[in-house]
Chains A and B, each alone.
Chain A
Amino acid sequence: MEKDIIDIVTEKEFIQLTASEKSELHEFCKTEEEYNQLKAVFASVSAMPIDTPSPKAETKRDLDALFAQTHPRVAPIWYNSVFAVIVPKDKPIYRQPILQVAAVALLFLLAVPMFSNDIVQEPTKLAKNENIETNDKATDKVKENELTKDMANDQLDVNQLETIVQDEESDIVSPADTRTSLAENSFPFTLTLEPSGNDRSRKDNSPILLDENRISMGLEGTPTPMAASGSVSNDFFDHPDGVFAEDKKLEAASSNDSDDRLSFAISASETDDLMDLLTVTF
């Protein structure tokens, strides 16, 4: 506030007044006594404490409501659409979405070079891996070939076995063939002719008839009825794994005596074909 004549009266003594001030005051106070009276009044009034009351909070609330009603907040469209979201005024700067997005983008930009280095180094590794894979593939191919060969061999073996089995089966099925096979292969067997039971009285040299239906093969250590009957020689027991044939009735060309029997034992271990046959069958 600029100083006026009242301030001059309040601050200065009468003798301190300039000529212009005295002429200005001449209208209101001519003497020093009058001047001092005015000075005392002004000083006393100024010295009086003046309370400055505060209005009620209600008054302010009513005025705020009135202000909100009179000046509704109308933000620009562009602010509402974009900036209200990414730069909200009511949030501190570190919580504003635009800053958060910028931070994420920065992290992404810093992370990209790391992945780029990996990509550059990758072809070398890939080349090595390809070599390894080629070697592996070659190895696998060799193994595959070997496997194929093995399978082919196995197939051959199977075929051979099947052939053998068929052969053997064909040998077994027909007694006549068996006889032929035995004859052809010249199995070493001992044929002992002994009169059995009722035939012990036989003294002539008539041919012995083998009962075809009673020829059987005996397994290891299993005496056949023929063997038990004692019609087979003791050589049978020397070959417990042999094939035992009993009641093989062979019709002799010149004999009609049905009681004559031929019992014989065949050692399977001495014949490979038979051994294979046994192995395959069981």
Chain B
Amino acid sequence: MTDESLMISISKGEKRAFDEIYVRYSGPLLGYFMRMLWRDREKAEDFVHDIFAKIIRKPESFDPTRKFKTWLYSVANNMCKNEYKKQEVRKNTSTGLDGHYALSDSNSNVLEEVQDMQFREQFEESMDALDDKHKEAFRLRHISGLSIKEIAEVLELSDGTVKSRLFYAAKYLAESLKDFNPVLNR
């Protein structure tokens, strides 16, 4: 069942449809909010609650002609923007990457682990240096897994603008992480 048909069922009061939507998107949304809101898990949980509460209370706010995923992330992105405005100061904003990510290969040697950790730290620093619009597009593409077209919908931008932002962010990261060529070229 597609997300869109599930949303139609939710608007008719089908609890199972809501449960299915929750299973599909609660985890990714929590991760997204955590990355966008300075790794604040409690705040991220609240945001997840709020966004699903909005789905329950006003399912008609979803336009069935649109793709649900992009609609959901656009709502989530707007929630984050509002939060940014509230906070005003974003000194402690993280790069959106988990500092405690486990290494993909647990059997890798110590040198590789150190290189990966250094690369991660450098990557986070580089992401912090990026402005919000590039960072936002980059996260949606590489962390949330949205396509350029979907990002364009979420951010209400053209596809070309999204591509430009994505390549700009990638070029910036490549430049800042050029010391990690061994990692990048691995």
Contacts and interface: CB of A to CB of B under 8 A. Distances in A.
Interface in B109-147: 119-120, 123, 141-143, 145-147
30 contacts: A1-B145, A2-B147, A27-B167, A38-B170, A38-B174, A41-B170, A41-B173, A41-B177, A43-B184, A44-B123, A44-B177, A48-B97, A48-B120, A49-B102, A49-B104, A50-B31, A50-B97, A51-B31, A53-B27, A53-B34, A55-B26, A55-B27, A59-B26, A63-B49, A63-B52, A63-B53, A66-B56, A67-B18, A68-B15, A70-B56
Chain B interface main SS type: helix
Contact of B13 (A5, A45, A71): A71
Interface residues of B, number: 52
Given A1-B147, A50-B143, A37 B41 contact: no
Given A2-B147, A51-B101, 13 more contacts: A1-B145, A5-B148, A37-B178, A41-B184, A42-B142, A45-B123, A49-B104, A50-B98, A55-B27, A63-B18, A66-B57, A67-B18, A70-B56
Contacts of A93: none
A56 B175 CA distance: 39
A28 B171 contact: yes
B37 interface: no
B167 A55 contact: no
A74 to B, nearest CB: 8
Contacts of B174: 37-38, 40-41
Contacts of A6: 141, 148, 166
B101 A5 contact: no
Interface residues of A, number: 40
Interface of A: 1-2, 4-6, 27-29, 34, 36-38, 40-56, 59-60, 62-64, 66-68, 70-71, 73
Contact of B167 (A38, A40, A46): A38
A37 B184 contact: yes
Closest CB pairs A-B (n = 6):
A40-B184, A28-B167, A71-B13, A37-B174, A4-B148, A52-B27
